[in-house]
Amino acid sequence: MICENITVNEKGNLCFAGMDVTKLAAKYGTPLYLMDENRIRQRIRTYKNALTKALGEEAKVLYASKAASFCQMYRICKEEGIGVDVVSLGELYTAIKAGFNPAEAYFHSNNKTDEDIDFAIEKGIGYFVVDNEEELFVIDKIAGEKGKRQNILLRITPGIDPHTYEAVATGKVDSKFGSAIETGQAEQITKTALGLKNINLCGFHTHIGSQMFDSEVFFDGAKIMLEFISHIKNSLGYTAKELDLGGGYGVRYTENDPTIDIAANIEAVGKYIRNKCNELGLEVPSIRMEPGRSIVADAGMTIYTVGTVKRIPGYKNYVSVDGGMSDNPRFALYGSEYTIYIANKMNDKGQTFNCSVVGRCCESGDIIQENVTLPSSVCRGDIAAVLTTGAYNYSMASNYNRIARPPVVMLNNGEDYVAVKRESLEDIIRNDI
């Protein structure tokens, strides 16, 4: 199995976090998102412990809440004592409503509106991660009007190709994010920030890309950023106190994806950073990391009921489920790979049916996965489970075709509870006049 929280019980049913998936489907209905709370906490602790061990108590984990944003996630982050990364008023508002202290939140985005900035400063946001000069001036102005001096990090584009898929690569010079070192804009914005009265420049941020397994990329990112810090120290006499290295490591969607030892990787990055600082004559800055995917991805699973099974002789087969790109747009967007099981037929030996697992949305691109092998007995009423859907599935879900979003049910030591309710038909028309 691709993750240790996935097992099969004596009835031949798939279990997630030790609980029979078919029973949960019967209790809550489908489609259904399941989340394994212990796995989330375990992953947070892995990052937190490894980071503080490698780089001291000053080092901090920020959960990139775009991966899965709802009140219970922010409560978990609060209880685990980590910060969060938010990218919109919606995420910040959810965090605040959940009782999360906004002073522990970092506000990203390449285009913060005046309203975003005003609201966030009013609520006492910890930091803005500032993308560009235009935004810097607005923050300075609004902070000034409110009589505040705002903490910021500057988002720097290091000019690295992360070898991941294009839509999630962000470190290249031509990226829409940040200010590039190569073009001189990174130094320029630093100079500007240092000259603004209501801005407290705390350091720099970089994010190279998502779903990365290559630890070299993290070394490269750290190297370029520490050299930049050293350059700025010499050219502007400013020493950055904080360095945020962006998102976390990749996750296993299928058996073909590598397993990654996060703690060992962080230890190696920590060692690299300490050596590099030594070489450059720098004090080690307080390091931040912002994992999203690797905190929640394999803590999630989506459960569907199988509907139409269509065989087109000589061509292909389809297994349709009662959700689709409305709850999981990742195959349509990125061609993402997934592992799919028929949860009530785990011991069925006839795993020979090659098919595309598709949704119920009204378009051909509504595919969850192609080239899937399922039991040839697969039929209407079976329960299908798509693994590793905890990251960027619920958070990217839509009401396309006016399909209601599934609920999120959390599993915790044999208990299950609703963290997000199923949308009703009334919810669908809530804002219609």
Q: Which residues bind ligand LLP (CB under 6 A)?
A: 64, 67, 85, 108, 168, 170, 207, 210-211, 246-248, 290-294, 330, 334, 392, 396
Q: Minimal distance in Å, beta carbon 289 to ligand LLP?
A: 9
Q: Is 362 a catalytic residue?
A: yes
Is residue 66 a contact partner of residue 292, using CB atoms and an 8 Å limit? yes
Q: Phi and psi for 252 in degrees, rounded to 5?
A: -90, 115
Q: Minimal distance in Å, beta carbon 189 to ligand LLP?
A: 17
Give CA angle at 335 (334, 338), nearest 5°.
Answer: 115
Give the DSSP H or E segment for 201: strand 199-205
Could you tell me which of 273, 275, 179 has the C-alpha nearest to residue 232?
Answer: 179
Show Cβ contacts of residue 428 under 8 Å, excluding neighbours closer than 6 positions: 399, 402, 404
Give the whole-angstrom CA distance, residue 280 versus residue 396.
42
Is residue 104 a contact partner of residue 84, using CB atoms and an 8 Å limit? yes
Could you tell me which of 235, 238, 204 has the C-alpha nearest to residue 221?
Answer: 204
CB closer to ligand LLP out of 108 and 345: 108
CB closer to ligand LLP out of 103 and 167: 167
CB closer to ligand LLP out of 15 and 62: 62
Give the whole-angstrom CA distance, residue 314 versus residue 311.
9
What is the secondary structure of 221-260 as a DSSP string?
HHHHHHHHHHHHHHHH----SEEEEEE-----SSTTSPP-
> What six digits make up the tokens of 330?
């990742």
Give the whole-angstrom CA distance, residue 40 versus residue 295.
6
E strands of 112-178, at which residues?
127-130, 150-157
Is residue 225 a contact partner of residue 245, using CB atoms and an 8 Å limit? yes
Give the whole-angstrom CA distance, residue 46 versus residue 341.
28
Q: Minimal distance in Å, beta carbon 293 to ligand LLP?
A: 3
CB closer to ligand LLP out of 28 and 228: 228
Give the whole-angstrom CA distance, residue 14 versus residue 250.
25
Give the whole-angstrom CA distance, residue 76 versus residue 311.
45
Is residue 244 a contact partner of residue 329, using CB atoms and an 8 Å limit? no
* Residue spans of alpha helices (H) in 282-419: 293-296, 330-334
Name residue 281's amino acid: G
Query: Looking at beta carbons, which residue is closest to ligand LLP?
Result: 247
Choose the catalytic residue: 3, 355, 362, 379.
Answer: 362
CB closer to ligand LLP out of 344 and 393: 393
Q: Minimal distance in Å, beta carbon 168 to ligand LLP?
A: 5
Q: Minimal distance in Å, beta carbon 62 to ligand LLP?
A: 8
Please identify every residue annotated as catalytic: 362
